[in-house]
Chains A and B, each alone.
Chain A
Amino acid sequence: MAQIIGGVATSHIPAIGKAIARGCQNDPSWKAFFDGYKPVHAWLDEVRPDVAVVLYNDHGLNFFLDKMPTFAVGAAPQYINADEGWGLPVSAPYPGDPHFSWHLIDSLVNDEFDITMCQEMLVDHAFTVPMSLLWPKSGSRPVTTIPVAINTVQFPLPSPSRCHKLGKAIGRAIESYDEDLRVVVVATGGLSHQLDGTRAGFINKKFDLMCLQRIVSDPEALAQYSARDLVRDAGAQGVELLMWFAMRGAMTGKVTERHHSYHVPISNTAAAVMVLENQTHWSDKWLDQSLIHQV
């Protein structure tokens, strides 16, 4: 059976993609930020995922206001990146796993999440930047991917609680897939930032630090916020925390935080990355530990 080995949540700011394209990772202004990903790489090397389910928000590359799904799941053999209009280099395609995607879709709809199904899906910086951050070797594609898009463009947005429940349903779907695959659930976006209005540039460090703690320790309570509350406290685009709620919901077992880092600012944004390890009864480590306790 497929096994959820953990979750990674990371910012997806386009400026990061530009810095990677220019090879600025060791520049003084970028080094501290990129160093925050070294523990993530070490963890990924340790747990060796086969598949990444990537929860992200499209910013007007694949979806327009003519048809705007609240939740959309990719079911394509590959996911293509394209020109977004403001100069980020286009990434090579990312391999998909259509059979796994259709299992996820069947399971989610059976679980009353009536998602949109996409056999073609362009993926934007919110997908590509995190992939480059997590697997930085240029052009390497060590995992297959299933993108899941959550609407953050057009209100009404799904609530944090709904996204958390979607994550739980994704968790159930993954664990009921009859293939021995190791799955990491990736959430992209956040933390606090605001691009538009006279409050542009709004960052709320206190709120971010509270979220970094409670998304681990008490996600159910944190999910009582409304989407509007997130806009108020994390900024108009800080609402991307919705993806973090969904990722946290997909952690079905005993959750241990392995790493987080927080960096202000990257472009207009408070950037963060977090690694959660998910130990289930399938997990080798969980078994080892229970043996130790018996002794």
Chain B
Amino acid sequence: MISNKRTGDIPGTVIFDGNRAIQGYALNKMCFSFNSGENREAYLRDEESYCKKFNLTEQQREALKHRNVLELLEAGGNIYYLAKWAGIFGINVQQMGAQQRGVTEEQFKEMLVRAGGD
């Protein structure tokens, strides 16, 4: 995990700083391309060829294969662009949240409702 040298660590939280910008540029650039429906379809048709166009690192390609958000963040992904990638598979932000927390979607939603009652 790269540290947030300039901003200090907040547990469980990504500060998307310059280090991450450097590390994640290729991955984020690919995810940004998914604003286009044509590109989303091309990715679904042939993920590997699509990734090749963006010079992703091995770590980034593996994280994509695993459909694992925490791994993608660790590989320099920015959540706003990753959300476009997740949209290709119909994964919404609550499902992404549940995956990162290691809980079911229902448990994640219950946790959110509880936060309103505190």
Contacts and interface: CB of A to CB of B under 8 A. Distances in A.
The reply to whether chain A is a binding partner of chain B is yes
A203 interface: yes
A41 to B, nearest CB: 24
Classify chain A: how many residues form its interface, as a range. 35 or more
B112 A203 contact: yes
Interface residues of B, number: 51
A15 to B, nearest CB: 8
A260 to B, nearest CB: 16
A70 B11 CA distance: 26
B2 interface: no
Contact of A198 (B12, B31, B83, B116): B12
Contact of B36 (A83, A153, A205): A83
A203 B115 CA distance: 6
Nearest to A57: B80
Contact of B83 (A83, A86, A232): A86
A213 to B, nearest CB: 17
A202 B14 CA distance: 13
Contact of A195 (B18, B31, B97, B111): B97
Interface of B: 6-8, 10-18, 21, 25, 28-29, 31-32, 34-37, 40, 69-70, 73, 78-84, 86-88, 92-94, 96-97, 100-102, 108, 111-113, 115-116, 118
Given A201-B97, A201-B111, A265-B113, 15 more contacts: A60-B32, A64-B28, A64-B32, A153-B80, A154-B16, A196-B100, A198-B11, A198-B12, A199-B10, A200-B12, A228-B7, A228-B8, A264-B115, A265-B116, A268-B93
